[in-house]
Structure 1
Amino acid sequence: MIGAPDHYCYPGTRVLKNKANIQSESELDEAMNDYASIAWAILRASPPTRDLDFEYLADAHHYMFGRLFTWAGHLRNVNLSPAGIDGDYCPHGEVEERLEVLFGRLAEEDYLQGADDWDFCQRVAHYWGRLTDIHPFRDGNTRSQGLWVSALATQAGHELNWALIDPVVLRTARMSARQGYEAGLSDYLRERLLPPGANMAAPDFKGPASLSADKPGDV
């Protein structure tokens, strides 16, 4: 849900202003899925050697959605709340400070390198819950955060089997982690780690149960 007025949208609609001038919410979401799928394939083909800090997440978001939105990769400046969930996301005026704290602590943990399966999933659940609440971008958070978590796992010596991740269950687990109940997300991710050497399947951004299935409302 969004506060009014929302300058990101065309007047009187929930459709985000976009460079392609798409006026249909469903068509815009389909376009976002298309760009996210292409970006995921390209970025995953060359795993990052840089720190997986907020700059990486912002760059990934811009790479995914920069062809559609002028604000891709930039922090939101409106307040938002998740669809169907009580409680607002982090106020937009606190987003930058909270990101600095989160990624500062993650850097202190060396981006979870060397963590075993159990510890890795526990810490990812903690950071993903906090990042879900911060909700840095106006839209496209779930898709860009999924890529970030995937890269984080790869760098730490783990791989997630995205083919076995149900986006509805994942969203429920993330929303619970956002409120401090992190065990469900940790267990869910740990049960979907691939054995060493296995090939990772990319999430299906275009299918009926894609990572963008948070609609209606903001992701």
Structure 2
Amino acid sequence: MTDPYHDPETHVLRNRLGYTDAQALAQAETIVAAGHMAELVVRPIDGRFDFEHLQAIHRALLSDIYSWAGEIRTVATSPGDLGIAHDPPESIAAESERIFREIAEGDYLRGRDHEEFTTGLAEHWGDMTSLHPFLDGNSRTQQVFFDQLSHEAGWGIDWRELSVPALQSARNIAYLDGGTVLADVIGPAVRPADEVPPHALLGGPHREADLTMTEHWQRMLDHLDSDTRTPYTWPGRDAAQHDTDPKTNYDTTTSAREHEERGAALERETQVQREAERVRAAKRLQEIRRNLPPITRPTGPHL
């Protein structure tokens, strides 16, 4: 079967920028997507948190690079060498209908305390990770989607507290445990929305980590095999995160007046931050072309 996505000579994803080197393309994708993510912080895509909303986010992030942005993939994919596979292309339509129907039936995770919200978020995120509807850019797209969904539900994710390897592995192991470990990983980073400014999305997840994704994967498998149901953790995790009780109901520990005052203060701060981000995003997008890695074209018989 002919690969519709990769150039048969360079084996690099066909792209609108003309890159024929995989590493240079990856760098360019990171730069371009980061610029558009900054735009979405300032002007989130108006949607109903359905599949069309997810597609619109994917197009906004990657349509400058790939002609197939926002389109359902037509080839099989898998998350590395973990021994599992994403949903086959022929199952994506039906499975996405189920996932987004469940999100809607759960009232988009509104009205839930910290534990209920984190558990529900992990379940949906795990399902969407297995769905993997697009060939590339799923993680970025899901990050924007669930960040927006969280704020709409009254919660925020402080991405600066999350580790990429742990998050990637936990999202994939949700295929086996339904999102239990993923809830352990993201729980300490979930805060009331008035404590997490929108621009936190641009600050992480951080990539410094003591363990690789593969090491997390093995530790998570061992954790699932254990008899105890203690939260998953790992050496080097920020000790401060362990002080956060995932079962805490923030609405009972902070008065309504304190929430209102804190929310008003954060709203004023956020307006200033949004304007600053708007200016920075415009500058980023103007400089994207200048900062992109140089295009190296093949020589010889390929020309």
TM over 0.5: yes
Q: Is the 8 A contact 1:160 1:192 kept in 2?
A: yes
Gaps in structure 2 of 5+ consecutive residues: 214-303
Provide closer, same or farther for how the CA distance between residues 49 and 145 of structure 1 changes in structure 2, counting only shifts above 3 A.
same
Q: Is the 8 A contact 2:163 2:207 kept in 1?
A: no
Runs of 4+ in 1 over 6 A off after TM superposition: none
The 5 A counterparts of 1:1-219 are 5-198=2-195, 199-200=197-198, 201-203=200-202
Q: Is the 8 A contact 1:113 1:157 kept in 2?
A: yes
How many residues are aligned here?
209
Please report how far the alpha carbon of residue 178 of structure 1 lies from its aligned counterpart in structure 2 after TM superposition: 2.2
Q: Which of the pair has more CA radius of gyration? A: 2
Query: Percentage identity across aligned positions?
Result: 29
Larger helix proportion, structure 1 or 2?
A: 2
Task: Give the aligned partner of residue 228 of structure 2.
Answer: none
TM-score (norm 2): 0.64
Superposition CA RMSD, Å: 2.3
* Counterpart-to-counterpart distance in 2, 1:7 and 1:48: 29
Please report how far the alpha carbon of residue 14 of structure 1 lies from its aligned counterpart in structure 2 after TM superposition: 4.0
Q: Is the 8 A contact 1:34 1:205 kept in 2?
A: no
Q: Is the 8 A contact 2:126 2:175 kept in 1?
A: yes
Moved more, 40-49 or 149-158: 40-49
Q: Is the 8 A contact 2:161 2:204 kept in 1?
A: no
Moved more, 138-147 or 48-57: 48-57
Task: Give the secondary structure class of the aligned counterpart of 1:179.
Answer: helix
Task: Give the secondary structure class of the aligned counterpart of 1:159.
Answer: strand
TM-score (norm 1): 0.87
Q: Is the 8 A contact 1:30 1:206 kept in 2?
A: no
Please report how far the alpha carbon of residue 24 of structure 1 lies from its aligned counterpart in structure 2 after TM superposition: 1.3
* Counterpart-to-counterpart distance in 2, 1:187 and 1:136: 25
